[in-house]
Amino acid sequence: MTTATDFTDRTDRYRRELLAHCYRMTASVHDAEDLVQETYLRAWRSFSRFDDRKASMRTWLYRIAHNACLTALEQRGRRPLPSGLGAPETDPTTPLDRLAGVAWVQPIPGALLGDGAASAQRGAVDPASVVVSRESVRLAFVAALQHLPPRQRAVLLLRDVLGWPAAEVAMLLGTTSAGVNSALQRARSQLVIAAPVEDQVVEPTAADDRELIDRYVAAFENADVAAIERLLRDDVELEMPPAATWFRGRDAVGTFLRSRAIAPYRWRMLRTRANGGDAVAAYLGDADGRFHAHSIQVCSVVNGRIAHIHVFQDEALFPTFGLPMTVR
């Protein structure tokens, strides 16, 4: 007789990598958590019929997760970032265009992915070893994936990110190896248009990260925009969903921060982890001396400078990150 203990013992080890896969597919941490729960519920209901002579436990679970993702994605459009919707705004004083009803790309907490473990080397074939690699959960990469049709998205993730052989992907997707390879080539071609250029991204060490983010946090809390500007690349980009308005260039970003974001307000910042790197939780001060949850900020670093600041103004993310809603 199948017991809950049997099921847990055989399936729990795959939960984290399935969460990462569902996140890459949907670009939503909340949807990914729901889809993993659905995957395990479906798996439990059919566990007594699982035959490891036909497929491995991992392949079987991924097939269930894949089908759950496809069903979910059929009912919604792709999640964008503001930079995927139009050109940057050239006037930092312009009113922000906040789009109601748009489901945006979300960041994912490092804690959910076991962030802090050693990152996998490129080409590793064990999916569990790559769930926290920066390349596989980088926001720009996850956003670029959303431009692909869901099946192409799955093929690219299974082949290029998780390193599965074409035959195993074909078995999971119910197609042929030739079909998998064809879909992979189309996905790679499309991704070249939308994805970041990997060889231009030089990862800082953990110490570099800490030092850079420490300086960013201190400057933000002290309303020292000049200090922040010294941390930015000339071509830095600032995105702030749900605002569709975004800015490019140190001057534009600095002017926006100085006039409309930092100086007029009081801030407290807490360090956290998101998408394989350091992130910051920003709290906005009020008259009673308390600071309230405002945004999760994820900074991308290129060659020792901040190249991209994603400011996710979504209070619902704070519990997911295990963060308080108010601080003093």
List of residues 6+ apart from 171 with CB closer than 8 A:
55, 59
The residue among 262, 151, 273 whose CA lies nearest residue 210 is 273
Q: What pLDDT does 156 receive?
A: 95
Phi, psi of 250 (to 5 degrees): -60, -40
The model's pLDDT over 191-228, given as tens digits with 9 standing for 90+, comes to: 887 765 544 444 545 677 788 999 999 999 999 999 99
The mean pLDDT value for 92-105 works out to 92
The mean pLDDT value for 17-23 works out to 95
Q: What pLDDT does 80 receive?
A: 95
Q: What pLDDT does 209 receive?
A: 73
Q: What pLDDT does 100 receive?
A: 85
Say whether the peptide bond before residue 92 is cis (omega within 30 degrees of 0).
Answer: no
Partnered with residue 291 across adjacent β-strands are 285, 327
Enumerate domains of the chain plus CATH numbers.
1-76 (1.10.1740.10), 206-327 (3.10.450.50)
d(CA 211, CA 195) in angstroms, rounded, equals 28
What percent of the chain has a predicted confidence (pLDDT) above 70?
A: 90
The pTM of the full predicted model, rounded to 2 decimals, is 0.91
Asked if the model's pLDDT at residue 164 lies above 50, the reply is yes
Asked if the model's pLDDT at residue 128 lies above 70, the reply is no
d(CA 307, CA 239) in angstroms, rounded, equals 11
d(CA 177, CA 182) in angstroms, rounded, equals 9
* Of 162 and 77, the one with more pLDDT: 162
The mean pLDDT value for 307-320 works out to 96
